[in-house]
Amino acid sequence: MEAPQKLYLLDYGAGNVRSLVNAVEKLGHTITHIDTVEDFARADKIIFPGVGAFGYAMQALRNKGFVEPLLAYIASGRPLMGICVGMQVLFEGSDESPDEPGLGVFEGRVERIDSSTKTVPHMGWNAAHVVGAHTTQGPDMGGDRRYYFVHSYAVPYTACGRQQEFVHTATRYGDEVVVSSAWQKNVFATQFHPEKSGAAGLSALQSFIERDLVRSSDLVEISAPATIEAALTKRVIACLDVRANDQGDLVVTKGDQYD
């Protein structure tokens, strides 16, 4: 009988990982926290979520002595999935923390989303468009599905340089197109939160946990940024309102409920 895989969670102390643990358990799996450097050698797969600032994440990894073990784990060919800031630190650096180098797994730099033309952060449900066809079966993503984003910094999608080697999906937010997931060899990462993205997010997470997502080195033609369509979902929120009742008293009521 084949031994179950050892799935580990790399939590550098940012907190807010309970929703990810719940999502993993909903899929029928268990996940163990990485507490020591030795845990990297025990892991078959690692999920690396992140919230907060780029600089804090990198400093926390260094303070725990996790940077070199993490890079060695990646170099070993075992699968890693980064989420949100856990994806951003896989790049070379970020404008959020200019003096703090990233892990450099992917080429490129994280930049602040332009707030002069739209609201920042980019928050809500948006599409993730697969930008190229691969010879290897990729993560279960794309189509008409929507994913939950909340971030002020992102990697611009340019379709230039080495992006054809690692960009898996791109997402339009207003006048900008950003990398919403990256996939290169044994490393898969998402800017959105799969654990907060309903069935669509669970499918992406499940494909990482239950399949061997190792991308071949074949270069593929990828879509131009101009072809990535806008798909941000508009939200209608029922608000509270203040009105006078029949007796002339001011009362608080739901905006869609009146006598």
**Looking at the annotation, which residues are catalytic?**
84, 193, 195
Compute how many other C-beta atoms are within 10 angstroms of the C-beta atom of residue 12.
Answer: 24
Distance CA 165, CA 222 (A): 9
State how beta strands 187-190 and 80-84 pair. parallel
Cβ 80 vs Cβ 49: under 8 Å: no
Cβ 46 vs Cβ 153: under 8 Å: no
Distance CA 163, CA 121 (A): 24
Bridge partner residues of 119 (DSSP): none
Question: Which of 122, 141, 148 shows the shortest CA–CA distance to 211?
Answer: 141
Phi, psi dihedrals of residue 164, rounded to the nearest 5° = -65, -15
Distance CA 174, CA 178 (A): 10
- CA 199 to chain CA centroid, Å, is 15
Instruction: Name the strand (E) or helix (H) holding 250.
Output: strand 250-254
Q: Which two tokens stand for residue 100?
A: 């703090």
Distance CA 55, CA 67 (A): 13
